[in-house]
Every structure is written in structure tokens, then in C-alpha cells.
A and B are shown apart, each in its own frame.
Chain A
Amino acid sequence: MSRAVRTPGPGPWTRRAMQMLGVVALLALAATQAMAQRPNQRADSVPLRADYRNIDELLAKLPRVTAPAFAESDGLELGAIQLACLDRLQPLQPRRNQARAAAADSAASAADSSAASAADSSADSTRTRDASAERGENYFWVASYSLVARNNQTRAFWGCDDWHSAVSSTWATAFLLERFPNSALQELSREKLADHLGASNLAGELEFFQASAAAINPIPYSGQRGLFERPYGFAWLLKLYSALYTWPDSAARKWTSNAAPLANWMADSLGAYFAALPVAARDGDQSNTAFSLMLALDYAEVVGDLPLRRNVIATARRFYLTDKACKVEAEAAAGRASRGGGNGRPARADSAQRATRADTGYNDLSAPGAAPPPRRRRAGPGDVVSPCLTEAALMSRVLGRNDFANWLRHFLPPLESGRFSPLTEPAGGTEAVPASDSARLSGLSFQRAQAMERIAAALPSSDPWVNALHRISAIHGKRGFDLMRGDVSGISWLPAYALLYIEARKTP
């Protein structure tokens, strides 16, 4: 019957229409499937601004912001924040961010990381969660807690909300003291440093970490945590040690020798962790691998730890050398103030590259690179790191000047493009920033500014990006200080972020 109705005219047209319909249907199907497989990703509702013609137009359009000065009075302000927290006991229940930083170490094995990603994606559906019950606490053994004996003599970093914040606060205190030796807080700062960096305190720390490492079951099991505070806190400890190491001061020399065994042990442990890490964590929080690699590299170069330096460089090249087209637009959400917390989407450095293998028909499990699934973390109010900029800042130290400039052009979109615009706008935008989110956005601003300064310092001075990066980093730096002054709580970690920026800003 169908043969009988076929006429010369409409035949091919109908066929083409059918073909088109088929294609449309297939595309729709593919789209639905893709969406079904990534249930947590939503389309970004804020459109990017249009591209500018060139870098000159960008410079003309950027607001004129002078990089914030950093005078002794600013140092006093940051120093006071640190002094206020160094002796405040860390709470029994760690805050959310710390739990996450501690969990980051589980990335050390593919088994752990995929378990974490699997668990993460299911966790969104389980709203009522109790972190300790999740680890099986109170199933059989019920714990009651008391302060460890002589904590002020056998522990060094027991203040400031959590371990890594205590370390970074100690670093900030030392940094400020070296920078402003005649500060009004000088005596008080020295007293705190002496109290916390005594020989028995640091020996106790080393003992604790060695025991923690020994207690880890070599067999990964559900709920197993990695080594406490590795990599993020370890990287901060190395940063602190490098500051003490280079500080020409008699007390600092003593603290350096007290801290040396711990720093050596952590450098080795962190190096082993990097070497075994199958996949880089590319999230915008403390687990970000490039961030820890960068602080570790600072240490390795200052102290002359050649094995760690080789290890960091090899790890950075393994993860990042072939990266292209970083998804800066994915960082737009991190820069927005969250409403009620928890709805900012995670920024990822490499989402373009591992979009999906769904289109190839078969899923070849033997293909190189097929094995470890990407880690995925819950969207949350923990984003304080720019994945794209941090990776670039790290690579600026790994590659030679010209190689880096070349790599950077493939990695970041042109600064004048609309795609880069999320990193040119001050965090929090023009909306009022809720107090609960201003500390995070302040830290993120400092971190973006710091990374831009590091990148600019590594480019050839004739590169037109250098000037543009300084202009943009000034916007972020100023924003960081403005937002910091708008918050009153939970900012013990913030001065360290400000000072990493201040430190990066001094042109070599």
C-alpha cells in the first residue's frame, strides 16, 4: 500500500522530514539520558557577559581599584583575629568543612575515592544525617569525651576551630611578626608562638600523627577516613615551617628546630600521598589538590627538599600538563552569595574534559584513563578556592616562563572573553552578602587575587596579561578586605588567606 501512494514530489521530502525527526528524537533521547545521569547539575541561570574585543577594552571597562595597602594597622587587625583564636579549644564536633578536609585524604586510593563519590551522590537524598552514626558510632560503642591530658604541652595546634586553621593562624602570626617586628602585638604574639611551638608540643604532634598513620587499616572499608588533615593541613604545616625556617630571629630558630621532625615527617607523608593519588581533586574547597601542591612546593623550594620538589612537579605534570580550556564559567556560582547555605554549585576545573563517554556506544573498560571515576563532592558553602586559577598558579612554578605562557593560553580563556568574566567580577556581586557567607566570599576573593598575582609574576613582563591580572587581582583583594570586615564569626582561617595574597603580591 505504501508503495502505491508514493509520488515523485513529496517522497524525498517526507524521507528527509522523517530523517530529521529521527535525528531530533535521538538528540532528545541523548539529552534526556545525559540529564538523567547527572541529576544534580542544573543549567546556569545567569548568562555570561558578551566578549570584549580585546584586552584594551577590558582594561577600559574594569573599575579603577587600587590594590589595598597593607600597613601596620592592617597587620594589627589580622593579628588580633589570630590572637583571639589561638588558645580557644577546638570544639568536640568539628565543623562541616573540617570533616571534609579530613575526608579528602581518602582520595589516596581509587577504592576510597570511588566509594566516596558513590556515597556522595546518594547522600543528597538522605537529608537527616548524623556524621558520627554514619561511621557506625553509637551502634555498639558509645563514646564520652574528655580533654586529652596536658593538651597545652603535648599538642601545638589545638585552637582556632580546627587543626589546619590553628596551623594557618600560627603561620599568619609568625608572618605578621616578621613583617612588623615593632608591632604593638609583638610581645603577645611571641608569647603565643612560644607556648604553642615548644619542643614538647611539637613532639606530641609528631607522636599523634605517627600513631594515626599506624592505626589506619590497610584495607579500605566503608566509612574509612584517610590520614587526619592530609593533604590540606599538612600543606599548611609545611608553609608554617618554611616561614620559620627563613626568619632571621633567635626565637624562630628554636621553633624551627622544634618543628623540624614534624615537618620532615609530613613532607615525606605528603609526598607519598601525592605520588599515589590516582586522580586530582579539582573541587573549589580545601580538598583541592593543586592548592596543597602549591604550598608543598613553596616549602620544598625554601627548605631544599629535593625529593618532595621532584614529586610535586611530577604530580602536577601528571595531572595538569595536558589540561586545556578550563571551565571558568563553572566558577561563577562559587562567587555568588548563597542563600541559606548549601546551594552553591561546586566549581570544577576539568568538567569539559570528562563530560561523558556516553556517546561512544561501548564503554571500553580497558581504555587508558577509563578506570578511576571522577570524584564529585556535594555542592556546599565551602568553596574558597578557584580551581582554574590555582591550577594555573601551580603550573606557573612547574613550567618554564615561555612554556607556561603557552600552556596558560590554552588553559584559560582570553581575559577579555565573556567566559573569563566570572573571575573579573567581585565575589558576591552587587547583591547584599549575608553575614553567614561573607567570610567564605572574602577568603575566595583573597585566594583568587593571590593566584592571579602568582600567575602574573611568572609571565614575561612584556605580556599584556600581566597588567590586566594585577588590575583584576586588586579588585579581588579589595573585595576580600571589605567582606572580611563585614563578618563577625568563624574567620580564624581568614587572615592566612589575606596574607597569602599579600605575600604573593610582592613582585620578585
Chain B
Amino acid sequence: MKPTTTIALLITALCAALAPVAGAQAPSDSTRPKEKEFKDLASFYASLPNPAGAKLDGARALMLSALPLSCVDHPHPRPSTPPYLWEPTYTPVDSFETKRAFYGCYDWHSAVNSTWTLVKLLKLFPDLPTGPAIREQLDRHLGASNIVGEVEFFRSAGRFELPYGYGWLLRLQGELKSWDDPDAKRWATNLQPLATLLAGRMTTYLDTLQQPVRVGVHPNTAMAMDNALEYAADFDPELDSAIRRNATRMFARDINCNTAAEPGPSDFMSPCLYEAVIMGRLMERSTYLKWLDRFLPPIQSVAFRPLTKTMGLEYARSENASVSATSHLVGLSLVRAMLMAKLANLLPDDDPRVPVLRRLAVVQAAFGLPQIGAVGYDGTHYYATWVTFYLVEMPSTVGRNARAAR
């Protein structure tokens, strides 16, 4: 037991030593307006604004489908790193239209999540006026030869798009395989070799990951698990058990999520909320509720506030953020909205936190939704995805035309 004690002492010493530094890095609290304390959840709920919630109806689905349709054929931007000694001249890869599937929408993972968005919208609204255009695009991008080319590329692409893009590809394939539609069956058959390859690598990746990645951008581990979970649970028992095993290993002992650190300067998601969601999907409910109480601060508390505050565009400007960083802020509000909606769905129906989380989701979304046309190509590749993702998680927001979402 001695080494344990020594290690504990060393850790304590290290923590003590780091404390002033951590304090120095945080913006000083005295300059910030004091956060309001609420005595209970009800008074916090009463204090919240009540903006009109968006509905996923036919008109909105049509608008949302237009964004990915506008980018799936817009090729990834040409690399623009200045050359030091060897200057590259770029040409598109030979026959990309038949050998690549996800060459549009800014980058590979955004092309995948945009494809998912098209699939999800058409699945929910089979009579969408853009339906034929969507089917045509999916036909052209998810053809058998396109996926053969993808598999060939990925065989020697090492860590490219691991884990974020992998997670999205598996979400897309899960969506296709659970869609009772003759076209979808064909696309799923074409896509399967790529899904199998990436799922196998994701299993290895999770098993060899020493610690979870807890950042608010792409490499986040909880987000990768959440994206892959539906496919894994329904179609890939090995990946499913890898997600369960490694989530338990990496997250089950976590307490006091560091809400104060959110959001980081260019975060587009909330690490605390994502972890809370993935654990809610994996743990047995009574165990989960106890875990959640130790993991997240009470919703009405000041400690939870960093997750609920809407970040205005002035925040982006004050940080001298670029256009793309601003687009991440819009993304952040939409992803938070989606996560709060998901979290509410994971709690018992009569839990008093459910309506509060849903209201917070609406408030977050109310910031992001009006902006989604504003950022142009910098936003088309994922705004529609996050809005769709959010709306399907909100109860009774899916319009009458929609079939069951899940």
C-alpha cells in the first residue's frame, strides 16, 4: 500500500503546485458580473425566457435539406499551406466522381454528416419536394464503386478522420440500415465494407486509448461513442461491447465535471453534456441517476451556468474570432440544445429536470437557429446536421408528415 500513499501524496503536491497557475489562467472573477443564485429548480425555471420552439415540419425540412444539397458536390477546399521548398500543384484525384463518396461539404466528416442529414430528412419526410434530388445525390455518391475507392483510400490512411469522421460514418450506416426503403438497402449494401473497416478500427482505437479526450472539438471521445452507438448496438456486437467497456473504464468514476472550463475558445460542443448523454445511454437508469448527480452540478446552480449561457456573437467578436470560429459558436448553441434535449429524454418522465432541460434547449436553439443562413459555405456543412439532430430529439417537434423518428 506504500506506493499508493506516495503516489497520492505526489498527486496532492502536484495539484497544490498547479492550483495557482490554473487560477492565473482563468479570467479573474472580479471583472465578471455576479451570477444570480436560485434557491431551487422551480425558481430557476420560472426565470428562464420562453421563446417559441422550432418545429421540424415539411417547410423546415425542405429548407434544411437545401443546405447539404448545396454542398455535397462543392469539393473540399484546395490546401493552401505556404510551401517552404517544394511547391505543390494540386489536381483532383482521377475519377473522383466514381471513386470517392465524401469529397464535398468542406471536409470528409462534414460530407458524411451532411449525407446523414439528407438521409434522415428523407426518412422522416418521404414526400419532401427535394426527395428526388436527394435520391439522385445519394445514388451518385453512395454507388458501389465510390465506396470501393473509399475503402482503398482508408486502408492506407492511418488515423485520418479517426474518431470523429468514423463516428459519423457509422451513424450514417446505422440510419441507412434501419430504413425500410429499397434505395436505402442498396446504399447500405454498398457502404457496408467501409462501415466494417472503420468499425473494426474504432474498436481497436477505443481499447487502446489511454485516457478519454475531453476537449470541446472533434477528437472528443464521448461524442465518437455517441455517434457510433446506434450502429454498434444494432449491427456490430464487438464495437458495442468496446464502447460499453471503455466508457465504463474511462467515465464511470468521473465526478464534478469541469463546467467552469466550458466553452473553450473554439468549442462547438460541450464535453460535460456529451459525457452525461453517452453514460445515460449506457448505464442502467437508477445507477445512472446517482452517477449524474455526482457528475453534473444541479441545473439551477451557478456551477451549471457555463453550460446554459448563450454565447452572443459579441462574444465571438470580443475574442477576435474568425468567421469559422463564429460558425463554431452557432454550432455550439445547436449542439448544446441537442444534448440538453437528449439528456431530458434519458431522465424519467416525471423528473422535474425534464421540462427545465427542454426549455434550456429551446433557449440555446433560439440563438443558433436564426444564424444558420448567415455564414455561407462555412456553415452549410454542419448547421443543417445539428438542427436536424436537435429537432428529432425534441418531443412533438416533428411535424405530422413525419414517420416515427426512431
Cα–Cα distance between A136 and B100 once the two chains are bound (Å): 13
Residues of A within 8 A of B100 (CB): 139-140
Stretch in A116-124, A420-428, A472-480 with 4+ CB within 8 Å of B: A116-124
Which residues of B, 314-349, contact A by the 8 Å Cβ criterion? Answer: 321-322, 324-325, 328
For A49-88 the 0/1 string (1 means CB < 8 A from B) is 0000000000000000000000000000000000000000
Q: Report B388 CB to chain A, min CB distance, Å.
A: 22
Q: Are B14 and A354 in contact (CB under 8 A)?
A: yes
Q: Are B210 and A376 in contact (CB under 8 A)?
A: yes
Stretch in B131-139, B183-191, B251-259, B397-405 with 4+ CB within 8 Å of A: B251-259
Residues of A within 8 A of B204 (CB): 122, 125
Stretch in A4-12, A364-372, A463-471, A492-500 with 4+ CB within 8 Å of B: A364-372
Q: Are A128 and B156 in contact (CB under 8 A)?
A: yes
Set B10, B21, B163: member contacting A318, Cβ < 8 A: B21
Set B84, B213, B255: member contacting A363, Cβ < 8 A: B255
Residues of B within 8 A of A370 (CB): 15, 258
For B74-96 the 0/1 string (1 means CB < 8 A from A) is 01101111111111111111101
- Does any Cβ of B come within 8 Å of A2's Cβ? no
Stretch in A178-186, A212-220, A280-288, A292-300 with 4+ CB within 8 Å of B: A212-220
Contact (A146, B89) CB under 8 Å given A366-B260, A371-B261: yes
- Does any Cβ of B come within 8 Å of A134's Cβ? yes
Which residues of A, 81-123, contact B by the 8 Å Cβ criterion? Answer: 89-90, 92, 110-111, 114-115, 117-119, 121-123
- Does any Cβ of A come within 8 Å of B11's Cβ? yes
Cα–Cα distance between A141 and B294 once the two chains are bound (Å): 48
Q: Are B85 and A39 in contact (CB under 8 A)?
A: no
Q: Report B328 CB to chain A, min CB distance, Å.
A: 6
Cα–Cα distance between A126 and B11 once the two chains are bound (Å): 33
Set B215, B255, B321: member contacting A218, Cβ < 8 A: B321
Cα–Cα distance between A126 and B202 once the two chains are bound (Å): 12
- Does any Cβ of B come within 8 Å of A135's Cβ? yes
Contact (A145, B158) CB under 8 Å given A121-B208, A126-B201, A133-B153: no
> Majority SS of interface residues in chain A?
loop
Residue of B nearest to A37 (CB): B210
Q: Report B2 CB to chain A, min CB distance, Å.
A: 12
Q: Are A134 and B159 in contact (CB under 8 A)?
A: yes
Q: Are A367 and B15 in contact (CB under 8 A)?
A: yes
Set B79, B160, B215: member contacting A114, Cβ < 8 A: B215
Stretch in A221-229, A332-340, A445-453 with 4+ CB within 8 Å of B: A221-229
Q: Are B160 and A369 in contact (CB under 8 A)?
A: no
Q: Report A135 CB to chain B, min CB distance, Å.
A: 7
Residues of B within 8 A of A212 (CB): 81-82
Residues of A within 8 A of B322 (CB): 218
Q: Report B218 CB to chain A, min CB distance, Å.
A: 5
Residues of B within 8 A of A352 (CB): 10
Which residues of A, 121-172, contact B by the 8 Å Cβ criterion? Answer: 121-126, 128-131, 133-149, 151, 155, 158, 163
Residues of A within 8 A of B258 (CB): 365-366, 370-371
Q: Are B214 and A114 in contact (CB under 8 A)?
A: yes
Q: Are A222 and B255 in contact (CB under 8 A)?
A: no
Residue of A nearest to B149 (CB): A139
Residues of B within 8 A of A376 (CB): 210
Set B17, B153, B211: member contacting A117, Cβ < 8 A: B211
Residue of B nearest to A90 (CB): B85
Cα–Cα distance between A364 and B19 once the two chains are bound (Å): 14
Q: Report B277 CB to chain A, min CB distance, Å.
A: 16
Residues of B within 8 A of A143 (CB): 79, 88-90
- Does any Cβ of A come within 8 Å of B57's Cβ? no
Residues of B within 8 A of A137 (CB): 79
Residue of A nearest to B156 (CB): A130
Q: Are B158 and A133 in contact (CB under 8 A)?
A: yes
Q: Report B270 CB to chain A, min CB distance, Å.
A: 13
Contact (A359, B8) CB under 8 Å given A134-B159, A219-B324: yes
Residue of A nearest to B5 (CB): A359
Cα–Cα distance between A498 and B22 once the two chains are bound (Å): 39
Contact (A134, B160) CB under 8 Å given A208-B82, A357-B11: yes
- Does any Cβ of B come within 8 Å of A360's Cβ? yes
Contact (A115, B161) CB under 8 Å given A357-B11, A368-B15: no
For B89-128 the 0/1 string (1 means CB < 8 A from A) is 1111110100010010001100000000000000000000
For B261-296 the 0/1 string (1 means CB < 8 A from A) is 100101000000000000000000000000000100
Q: Are A148 and B86 in contact (CB under 8 A)?
A: yes
Contact (A361, B253) CB under 8 Å given A122-B204, A139-B100, A219-B266: yes
Cα–Cα distance between A163 and B84 once the two chains are bound (Å): 9
Residue of A nearest to B150 (CB): A139
For A310-338 the 0/1 string (1 means CB < 8 A from B) is 00000000100110100000000000000
Contact (A111, B158) CB under 8 Å given A125-B204, A215-B81, A366-B258: no
Q: Are B87 and A222 in contact (CB under 8 A)?
A: no
Cα–Cα distance between A367 and B85 once the two chains are bound (Å): 46
- Does any Cβ of B come within 8 Å of A13's Cβ? no
- Does any Cβ of B come within 8 Å of A373's Cβ? yes
- Does any Cβ of B come within 8 Å of A38's Cβ? yes
Residues of B within 8 A of A158 (CB): 84-85
Q: Are B255 and A355 in contact (CB under 8 A)?
A: no
Cα–Cα distance between A246 and B199 once the two chains are bound (Å): 59
Residues of A within 8 A of B4 (CB): 359
Which residues of B, 1-58, contact A by the 8 Å Cβ criterion? Answer: 4, 7-8, 10-11, 13-15, 17-19, 21-23
Contact (A215, B80) CB under 8 Å given A111-B264, A124-B208, A128-B156: yes
- Does any Cβ of A come within 8 Å of B217's Cβ? yes
15 further A-B pairs in the complex, CB-CB below 8 A; given A110-B215, A125-B204, A130-B156: A111-B219, A111-B264, A118-B209, A118-B211, A124-B208, A128-B156, A130-B157, A141-B91, A142-B90, A142-B93, A158-B84, A219-B266, A219-B324, A354-B11, A365-B214
- 5 pairs from A and B in contact (CB 8 Å cutoff): A134-B158, A137-B79, A141-B79, A219-B266, A367-B15
Considering the complex of A and B, which 4 residue pairs feature the smallest CB-CB distances, nearest first?
Answer: A143-B88, A322-B17, A369-B18, A115-B219
